[in-house]
Amino acid sequence: MSNHHAWIQSFARTKGKPLSNRQKQLLADLLPQITANKALFFDDNLLAQMEIGFGDGKHLTNQALSQPDTCFIGCEPFVNGIAKLLSSMDRLKISNIKVFVGDCRAFISEIPDNRMSCVYILFPDPWPKKRHHKRRLLQKGFLTLIWRVLAPGGSIRFASDNKDYAQEVFDFMNSDSMFQTSNQSLDLCIYPQNPWSPIITKYEEKARFSESDCFFIEALKVCP
């Protein structure tokens, strides 16, 4: 059973600049056709990948184009980001992405066990002030949600340029037997570029420009 009312919102806003008429049309016409819901998993053979907080959709569209036989699910509460993704999907004729609008935890709570091969969380809001740490998405309880939906051997891939947040996530992942990180220390998770994709996201680009270290942490699901 999901526990929606206990969740602390982990995102700051859901709307930005005014949308173009074309973006509004895509939200009205295309989005309802590709909305992700639990009916997706009526197909017992479906093994999907998910990106949580896909921003402008550059990484997600690249993944979908490079793996056309894989179903990708993007979770995003920010309407402007969703509109950009829809524009890319329409222009590039991408048909293997489904979108959930809102808090990803609501959708993950509805997914059957063992149905994700990979979950990406790339440069989420680090909420750097200590009093806001409770708003960070990756908490112990959230990792338990992810563990349940990952298939055996599936992975969670997390990236951040905030060392405190990265260390916290790394420690969460190694605190029990649910996950096993690919690297044995956080320092070994520093890479000069994304090891999983050639695409540089907006927030990774900002981090590189400021000469911040970027941490890429991968952890595999461990089955009892």
The pLDDT value recorded for residue 14 is 60
Q: How far apart are the first and last CA of the chain?
A: 22
More confident residue, 130 or 85: 85
Q: What is the mean pLDDT of the chain?
A: 91
Q: Which residues pair with 192 in a beta bridge?
A: none
The pLDDT value recorded for residue 224 is 78
Which candidate, 78, 75, 164, places its Cα nearest to that of 122?
75
Could you report the per-residue pLDDT of 92-104, keeping only the tens digit for each? 999 999 999 999 9
**Which positions are annotated as active-site residues?**
125
Contact between 122 and 76 under an 8 Å Cβ cutoff? The reply is no
Alpha carbon distance 162, 183 (integer Å): 18
Q: How many CA atoms lie within 13 A of 209 on its CB side?
A: 7
What's the rounded mean pLDDT across residues 204-215? 92
What's the pLDDT band for 2 if we cut at 50, 70, 90?
Answer: very low
Contact between 31 and 19 under an 8 Å Cβ cutoff? The reply is no
Inform me whether the pLDDT recorded for 1 exceeds 50.
Answer: no
> DSSP per residue over 48-89, as a string?
EEEEES-TTSHHHHHHHHH-TTS-EEEEE--HHHHHHHHHHH
Contact between 137 and 121 under an 8 Å Cβ cutoff? The reply is yes
The pLDDT value recorded for residue 135 is 81
Domain boundaries, the chain: 111-224
Inform me whether the pLDDT recorded for 183 exceeds 90.
Answer: yes
The pLDDT value recorded for residue 203 is 87
Inform me whether the pLDDT recorded for 132 exceeds 80.
Answer: no
> 111-224: what CATH class?
alpha beta
The pLDDT value recorded for residue 44 is 86
Alpha carbon distance 68, 78 (integer Å): 25
Structure tokens belonging to residue 103? 């808090």
Could you report the per-residue pLDDT of 133-172, keeping only the tens digit for each? 888 999 899 999 999 999 999 999 999 999 999 999 999 9
What's the rounded mean pLDDT across residues 60-74? 97
Inform me whether the pLDDT recorded for 10 exceeds 60.
Answer: no
What's the rounded mean pLDDT across residues 14-19? 75
More confident residue, 224 or 53: 53
